[in-house]
Amino acid sequence: MPEPNLFTMLSAYRPGSPATPFENYCTSGLAYFLKRGQRMLTALFDQATGAAGEPIAMVEVQPELAGAGIADLVITYEGGLRAIVEVQVESAADERLMPALQAASATWKPAGVPVLVGLAPSGDARWPWRAIHWLDIVEALDDDPDLLAREFVEFILRDVLGLGPVPLEEALTTNRLYALGAAAIRRAFGEQVRYQNTASPPLRGRYRYLGTSFAVDGGDMACWLGIVNETVPLGEHYQLMLATKATPLHGPAAQPRATGDWKWPYWTGAGRVVRPVAPETLDDLLKRMHS
């Protein structure tokens, strides 16, 4: 297997893939440590795939499976077993391609093993997919003395799982605000709640709004949590806000000017972002949806 280069892998993105650039970034980072043969991580995948300690011969990022589309990862073991890996960074992610990918891998000799890396609890995936939670990957890499492994662990915890506070400058330039909001929404409404990142087009590095739209009880994406610029023209200050299309909120606030013609009637807020946005702040804000 060629010596992996993390930065080359992170720079690669296959046009036509259903993965978002951020999901692809996470996938390439995971593939790097699998290609390096990191002992505890490969043992985790061995357990999921039944590879019984066979060395990994090849890790392919975004290979195309004939007639089925582009997979996130395919792992080939020296004994010939292959695993097809679906990588998810959100709950209730788009899974429309998974049946076709699994069916294609089932025709391999021996049949491929489908593995789902994401936010579903380990062992909780729909058969025949075997689940590996991102926290399992954190635990596998946690004792690795390599600096890159420690940084990848921190990246998973903060940028994927939304743990820890997020300073405003990182909220505006990384995935961390999205991850923080998604984690708060999952805590409030359950692991299978649907949500998606939403942001206005940036103007010289500033946004009118930046946050997470979400649905409650399987309905429309009629709720939103994030930050909104205080002024028009756009300035450097932002308010932390919650908005809904149909549900009155406790502590109502006026609709911010920066949201323009976004005609939702119900708004509330936690004031100007002057310190890092903390998970408990978002938890408290979401409680304003309850009667």
Q: Strand pairing of 64-65 and 73-77?
A: unpaired
Q: Measured between alpha carbons, how far is 265 from 173 in angstroms, rounded to an integer? A: 29
How distant, in Å, are the alpha carbons of 186, 187, 188, 287 from that of 161? 10, 12, 15, 21
Domains of the chain (ranges; CATH) run 6-155 (3.40.1350), 164-289 (no CATH)
Q: Measured between alpha carbons, how far is 28 from 7 in angstroms, rounded to an integer? A: 9
Give the model confidence (pLDDT) of 97-153 as tens digits.
Answer: 899 999 999 999 999 999 999 997 665 657 789 999 999 999 999 999 999 999 999
Counts of helices then strands in the chain (DSSP H, E): 9, 12
Query: What was the pLDDT predicted at 237?
Result: 98
On whether the CB atoms of residues 148 and 35 are closer than 8 A, the answer is no
Q: Measured between alpha carbons, how far is 47 from 41 in angstroms, rounded to an integer? A: 10
Give the model confidence (pLDDT) of 227-248 as tens digits.
Answer: 999 999 999 999 999 999 999 9
Query: What was the pLDDT predicted at 191?
Result: 85
Residue 2 has pLDDT above 70, yes or no: no
Query: What was the pLDDT predicted at 174?
Result: 95
**For residue 34, what pLDDT band results from cuts at 50, 70 and 90?**
very high
Q: Would you say how long the chain is, in residues?
A: 291
Q: What pTM did the predictor assign?
A: 0.92
Place of tokens 């692809």: 24
Q: Which residues of 13-31 are buried (b: 16+ CB within 10 A; e: fewer)?
A: eeeebebbebbbbbbbbbb
